[in-house]
Amino acid sequence: MASTTQTLAGWSWRRHGSDEEWHASAHSKPTTEIFVDLLDANVIPDPFLDQNERLVQWVGETDWEYRCEFLHEPNSSHSRQDLVFQGLDTYATVFLNESLILSSSNMFHRHRVDVTNVLKRGINTLRIVFRSALLEGRALQEKHGKYRAFNGEGSRLHVRKAAYHYGWDWGPLLLSCGPYREIYLESYASIVYDVFANAEVAEDLQQATLNVSWDANFETNGDVEVIVTSPTQRTFHSICTIVTGNSQNSVSFKIPQPELWYPIGHGPQAFYTVVVRACSNAGDTLHTSTITSGIRRVRLVQDVLVDEPGTSFFFEVNNQPIYISGTNFIPDHSFLTALTPNDYAATVESCLQGNQNMLRVWGGGIYEHDALYAECDRRGVLVWQDFMFACGQYPCYPEFAESVKKEAADQLKRLRNYCSIVLYAGNNEDYQVIEDLGLQYDPDDHSGDWTGTDFPARTIYENYLPAAMNQYAPNVPYHPGSPWGGKRSDDCTVGDIHQWNVWHGSQEPYQLWDKLTGRFVSEFGMLSLPSVNSVPRFVTDPAQRHPQSEVMDLHNKAEGGERRLAAYVLENIRVDSMRLESWTYATQLIQAECLAFAVRSCRRQWKGRGRAYCGGQIIWQLNDCWPVSSWGMIDFYGERKLAFYSTKRESAPIVIAIHRSTPELKRVKFPPIPIPGAPHDLAKKSYIFDIWAVNTTLQEADVKVVVRLFDTETGQLREERILQRQVLPSNRSTELVEDEKVDEKTAVQAILFANSQIISRASDWPQPLKHAHLPTSYHVNLKVLDDRVEVTSTAPVKGLELYMTNEGRRICWEDNCADVFPGDTYVIHAKGLVKGDDVRMRYYGMDWVPNSG
């Protein structure tokens, strides 16, 4: 008889060690956690509202227990029963019918436990005691010593739990626990599991070797049948004999002309189906495991560059160089079990709508739910996967190291069939932390064992994790950390960098982003407030709904966040009001401007073979885990900030871009060369601008470019010129106009046409914007039609935001935060918009230019 799988559900909970009655969870899902259950039972206030985070800290300092009951009717055909635990958060002691069957101390471990002799006919009871991770971590700290952490208390470094639960500079301190991943009972006579389809693709892509491996547990000798089916229904078949007991097995298939999986924009997402069946000697099917996976050839290219120092850092899939426009993804909720597969699908959809082709799963969260990776596979979004170490000086004592080794094995075996994962990185910013603390780190020391230094976890990143990769996921590149390049972590000529000298660090003006790029920029960002419509959802007292309220301060976890944000706003734009609506718009406009400067500066450096001076950028960050002022481009309630739209435009497959500078500043290549412009430099400056285009498609593009210069004081057109037929080579940037002189009171617009259609617009304004004198009288007109708005203006307009006042309706704008110029009707599509809807607008200067509107 075939195996059976029974997923456990119907949880009850209570405080451990108390005589409380068991409380039934209000839901029937197979996964749960204590904060969700306490909220459902009205035991605690919603931690996301007001200052309630302060009121619920006792939850993380308390031990809890969970219980569920399930019916088991033994079948004589099934000689073995396993309980499979996909994830327990975090310190868990598990009893079945009051017999101890498992102790787990790592949130990222998976367990398969033989319970054949513990199960009984009829009702069985599974009980799990979850000890406080906070208190357990403090005890380990007392035992093994203190280690330094940036974000969260240092005891977290001893605990293999989602680090963001300890509080981050965008997230609350909410230490949950519970059976956060599924638990199921598997009954069988013979079983195959942990199936891996490892494809080795020839360099010319004309043949692939597909190595299919699996683990097996057979009661008696039997056969395993392996059937591989291609996307066009070609089949490959093999049968092998399996002996009694546990075993590891594999077969190989030669696949001519393999049908390859490509990322979005580079080809189709094609999948092979692999079926592995355990069969009895009589040919009966006893168990089946089925996976789908794409076949692709992935390389991380780090070659010596032409004309610039260092080496490249870019991804190549099926021999095609891929420029990365990506975004960092943090856990989408502080309570992981509140998420559904639809939430993960929405995340990937947001990426694609924002012209992003990569998600980085950040190392302070979790190895994400299978639904996220499956959707990335299906939609062609690449994944950069961190191992779960972030911002700390981690230990490496023996029991910690063994736990990490099992964690790596468990998670790699779970994730290795997802073809969208093209890189594993050992940690997030841990090398940088060691450098900042001045601890022992010699990049030229390759001894392989650093456990005796004050950077012991280097042994994990450069020894244990690479070994796990070689064993369990040899088809994906490994990178020891992020940022990392084999030298200092801030070396912009090698590896990847986290460019935080805008906002953190030296707090450079974002207009200098062209001096701050690196070979690959895997983090950068700018903070802003959540959208205005979101604030009433977490600030219940109307008197607290202003930017400087106590509640708003609590929902800004960035150190010095209010001060730094004010500095960037006030250094760049004029602000005449601190009303919530005005300040929110100001912060979101600055975020939109900053990220746009960064993205176009990075993409300009994608100059073709040998000159891939920047192979991509990954914005920090896409999303939030609770309502907060943060670097997110989409707030917790799903409202898209202005930066979502500005970066969407800058990340389009074909885009035009402008940059203004002075001749002196343009000559500066890399920091730390001093930037000209001391406060007492009183000489009148001359300005120049460059125009370039980026074409990341696989075909060259014939385009026409119209360049228009406007007087920012009068709004009048000064000059228009046309660049007739320009050919943009595929998959690189192309310079179009260089060192063109421009008056400091001029706004420049460039429009790129292909086949008489507008493909891209770009604009460049005097910087800082606060010094620009705008016209005293002009008119902006909105024409609201079904599914679109047509915008015209009699003078140049900066950062026009459209929004709706209709309560209960969410309009999905395809574009927003637009720069609108005279003589150019700007059309913004919006799904669900109806002619006559009350569409409102905000734009820069609207509050203080007397006769605009």
* Beta partners for residue 827, in sequence order: 790
Q: Long-range contacts: 809-813, Cβ < 8 Å, 24+?
A: 810/638, 811/837, 813/640, 813/645
Residue range 460-486: average pLDDT? 98
Burial of 527 (0-12, 13-18, 19+ CB in 10 A): buried
Residues 144 and 35: their CA atoms lie apart, in Å, by: 30
- What percent of the chain clears pLDDT 70, i.e. is strictly above it? 98
Annotated domain spans of the chain: 4-184, 186-293, 298-651, 652-675+684-773, 774-853
Residue-by-residue DSSP string for 410-455:
HHHHHHTT-TTEEEEES-BSHHHHHHHHT-S--TT---S--TTSS-
Residues 156 and 149: their CA atoms lie apart, in Å, by: 8
Q: Is the pLDDT of residue 675 over 60?
A: no
Q: Is the pLDDT of residue 609 over 60?
A: yes
User: Residue 76's pLDDT is what?
Assistant: 82
User: Residue 362's pLDDT is what?
Assistant: 99
| 281 pLDDT tier (thresholds 50, 70, 90) | confident
**Residue 698 token pair:** 């696989």
Residue range 424-433: average pLDDT? 98
Burial 729-740 (b: 16+ CB within 10 A, else e): eebbbbebbeeb
Q: 238-253: per-residue pLDDT in tens?
A: 999 888 888 899 999 9
**Class of the 774-853 domain?**
mainly beta
- Topology agreement, domain 652-675+684-773 and domain 774-853: yes
User: Residue 773's pLDDT is what?
Assistant: 87
CA dihedral 216, 217, 219, 221 (to 10 degrees): 30
Residue 442's CB: how many other CB atoms inside 10 A? Answer: 11
Cα distance between the two ends of the chain = 75
202 close to 364: Cβ distance less than 8 angstroms:
no
Lowest mean pLDDT, pick from 461-465, 466-470, 484-488? 484-488
Pick the CATH number of 298-651 from 3.50.50.60, 1.10.3470.10, 3.20.20.80, 3.20.20.450: 3.20.20.80
Phi-psi region of 51 (alpha: psi -120 to 50; beta: other; left: phi over 0): alpha
The half-sphere exposure of 188 on its side-chain side, counting CA atoms within 13 A, is 30
708 close to 757: Cβ distance less than 8 angstroms:
no
Lowest mean pLDDT, pick from 178-192, 439-453, 577-591, 797-811? 797-811
Phi, psi of 572, rounded to the nearest 5 degrees: -120, -35
484 SS3 class: strand
Residues 853 and 373: their CA atoms lie apart, in Å, by: 46
Q: Is domain 652-675+684-773 given the CATH code 2.40.30.10 in the classification?
A: no
Residues 258 and 321: their CA atoms lie apart, in Å, by: 19
Is 523 labeled as catalytic in the residue annotation? no
Q: Which residue has the higher pLDDT, 79 or 227?
A: 227
User: Residue 849's pLDDT is what?
Assistant: 67
Which residues lie below 8 Å from residue 466, measured CB to CB, with a gap of 6+? 478, 480
**What would the CATH number be for the domain defined by 4-184?**
2.60.120.260
Residue 17's CB: how many other CB atoms inside 10 A? Answer: 11
User: Residue 670's pLDDT is what?
Assistant: 66
What CATH architecture is 186-293?
Sandwich (2.60)
Q: Is the pLDDT of residue 672 over 60?
A: no
The interaxial angle of helices 398-415 and 465-472, nearest 10 deg, is 30
**Residue 545 token pair:** 């709904």
The residue to which tokens 């002022």 are assigned: 629
Helix or strand (DSSP H, E) at 386: strand 382-386
640 DSSP assignment = B
Q: 356-366: per-residue pLDDT in tens?
A: 999 999 999 99
User: Residue 322's pLDDT is what?
Assistant: 98
Active-site choice (33, 65, 136, 429)? 429
CA distances from 761 to 140, 513, 657, 728, 753 (A): 57, 20, 8, 16, 9
Q: 774-831: per-residue pLDDT in tens?
A: 998 899 999 999 999 999 999 999 999 999 876 667 889 999 999 999 999 999 999 8
Task: Give the pTM.
Answer: 0.96
Mean pLDDT value across the chain:
95
- What percent of the chain clears pLDDT 90, i.e. is strictly above it? 89
Widest pairwise Cα distance in the chain: 93
Q: 3-43: per-residue pLDDT in tens?
A: 999 999 999 999 999 889 999 999 999 999 999 999 999 99
337 DSSP assignment = G
Residue 309's CB: how many other CB atoms inside 10 A? Answer: 12
**Residue 843 token pair:** 């734009």
| 678 pLDDT tier (thresholds 50, 70, 90) | low
Q: 323-332: per-residue pLDDT in tens?
A: 999 999 999 9
User: Residue 19's pLDDT is what?
Assistant: 87
Sheet holding 797-804, edge to edge: 818-820, 797-804, 839-842
